[in-house]
């Protein structure tokens, strides 16, 4: 039952999963920096509340990805005196924190929408559409390439 080879294999699997999750979180951070900044700027310039709100949501995703990356870093730490079973629960805490961040983003967007309901607004400029289309392609590429170097199946046929 306490086969050292089995434990070593499980440790290797866990390390690979943590590395993959860190890589995905890092890619998500990079994408969300670009998407958030672009949508906030274009939403403001084009007078588009929807694009601006989506930029705020991407900012929340950016913050959430940072929390996940930090949680993964802590989860990869070896067991110590205070945590004899390791730090794996930090992933759960990071997930809970991300939920609160996204909930807060949603409440902020809701508040802004209710606040601007009776305000006369301009029709958004047409160029406000492209920041909504680019993320579809970017996130599809990120999803496809998530497991590309590892050779593991990502559910997409190549």
Q: With bands split at pLDDT 50, 70 and 90, how would you rate the model's confidence at 149?
A: low
Reduced to 3 states (helix: H, G, I; strand: E, B; else coil), residue 15 is helix
Question: Is-contact 26 129, C-beta < 8 A?
Answer: no
Tell me the mean pLDDT in the region 134-144: 77
Measured between alpha carbons, how far is residue 133 from residues 20, 21, 39, 102, 136 in Å?
Answer: 27, 26, 11, 22, 5
Residue 49 to residue 102: CA distance in whole angstroms: 18
Q: What percent of the chain lies above the pLDDT cut of 70?
A: 85
User: For the segment 66-110, what is each residue's pLDDT rounded down to a tens digit?
Assistant: 888 888 888 888 777 887 777 778 888 888 998 998 888 788 878
Q: Where are the domains of the chain?
A: 11-132
């Amino acid at each position: 039952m306490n086969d050292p080879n089995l434990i070593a294999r499980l440790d290797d699997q866990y390390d690979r999963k943590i590395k993959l999750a860190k890589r995905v979180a890092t890619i998500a951070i990079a994408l969300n920096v670009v998407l958030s900044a672009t949508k906030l700027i274009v939403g403001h310039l084009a007078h588009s509340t929807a694009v601006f709100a989506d930029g705020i949501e991407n900012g929340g995703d950016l913050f959430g990805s940072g929390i996940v990356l930090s949680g993964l870093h802590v989860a990869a730490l070896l067991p110590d005196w205070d945590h004899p079973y390791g730090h794996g629960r930090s992933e759960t805490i990071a997930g809970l924190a991300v939920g609160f961040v996204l909930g807060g983003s949603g409440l902020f967007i809701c508040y802004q929408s209710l606040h601007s309901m009776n305000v006369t607004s301009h029709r958004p400029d047409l160029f406000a559409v492209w920041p909504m289309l680019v993320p579809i392609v970017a996130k599809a590429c990120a999803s496809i390439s998530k497991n590309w170097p590892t050779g593991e199946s990502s559910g997409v046929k190549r």
